Each structure stands twice: as C-alpha cells, then as structure tokens.
Amino acid sequence: MKTYESEVMEKEEIKLVGFTITESLNHVLESKLVETLRRDLAKRIDEIKNRAGTGIYLNQIYPHDGEWTPDVPFEHVIAVEVSAFDHLPSGMISHTIAAGRYIRIIHQGPESQLGSTYEYINNTFGTRPIDLEYWQDINDLDSEESRIDIYIPAP
C-alpha cells in the first residue's frame, strides 16, 4: 500500500489568473478538458502580467451541499499565481484562494495514478469544499518523478 506525505500549513491568499469551466469529473476525464485548458494556459502564459512562480494551479470547487458524485458538475479553475490583478488577458478570469490552514498531500508519480491519491484523501479526510492542486512542471506529469502538491482546507 502506498504511503502519502502530508503536513498542515498556513497559506497566504493566492491570486490566480486563468480559465474556468463547470463540468462533472466524469466529463472532464472523458473529454480531457483540464489537460486542454492547461496546455492553452501554458501557450498564453506570457500574456499574464505580474506572474508569481512558475507552476500551474487547479482549484476544484465542489457544491456547497456536499452532495458530490463524479457526475455532478463543479467549478474547475486552471490558473497561474499573480501578485496583482492589473490586467486580465482576453477570455481569462481572476480567482482568489483564501488564506488559511491547509493540509498538503504530496502525490508522487504519474498524473494518471492521481485517482489513488484522491481515494486516500477522500477516505482519510472526507468531504471538503475545495481541492487545490499545484503542478510545478506540467511537462513532467507522466514520469515517476512527477510531483503534484494537493492542498485541502484543514479542520
């Protein structure tokens, strides 16, 4: 059985600029919409002013009633961190992640195996309002050395 490294940490507010869609997990997996938007964001990254850092975030915002299944649509924000919202490129949105206490769980290995990490998170921590993934290098997501940091709100 795989073990996961996790820690509780304080995170400052994160300002993001990128794309958003509202779709079910099953539709996103079938259509590869997040992968497409991630590639589109990488192609247009130079249009985004005030970038902070080099990675890309995925913020998954679940329905507030907690009644979530893989067929229920929810919001996906694929974006990069910025220091200020001075300029929004055409077709992009601004989004803010609240400051607070988060649990960071590290997924080590190919992105295709991310489902097992989320199974661990769901079994260990239960339902939550958001997940926040951070991909340091989107060109390395298929390798065994790939690392995805997942942040969930701490109780």
Domains, the chain, in order of start with CATH, read: 6-153 (3.20.80.10)
For residue 18, which of 147, 150, 135, 149 has the smallest C-alpha distance?
Answer: 135
Q: What is the SS3 assignment for 53-75? A: CCCEEEEEECCCCCCCCCCCCEE
Q: DSSP characters for 30-53?
A: HHTHHHHHHHHHHHTGGG-SSB-S
Answer yes or no: are the C-beta atoms of 75 and 24 closer than 8 Å: no
Token code pair at residue 106:
């590290």
Q: What is the C-alpha separation between 49 and 89, in angstroms, rounded? A: 9
Task: Please report, as a single letter, which amino acid is at residue 145.
Answer: E
pTM given for the model: 0.93
Q: What's the first-to-final CA gap in the chain, in angstroms?
A: 26
- The confidence score (pLDDT) of residue 1 equals 62
Backbone φ and ψ of 138, nearest 5°: -70, -10
Instruction: Give the per-residue pLDDT at 35.
Output: 92
Q: How far is CA 38 from the centre of its chain?
A: 11
pLDDT, one tens digit for every residue, the chain (155 residues): 688 889 999 999 999 999 999 999 999 999 999 999 999 999 999 999 999 988 999 999 998 776 788 999 999 999 999 999 998 999 999 999 999 999 999 999 999 999 999 999 999 998 899 999 999 988 888 888 899 999 999 98
pLDDT for residue 3? 80
Q: What is the pLDDT of residue 23?
A: 96
| Closest C-alpha among 67, 65, 77, 64 to residue 23 | 77
User: What pLDDT, on the 0 to 100 scale, is given for residue 66?
Assistant: 65
Q: Report the Cα 10 to chain-centroid distance in Å.
A: 17
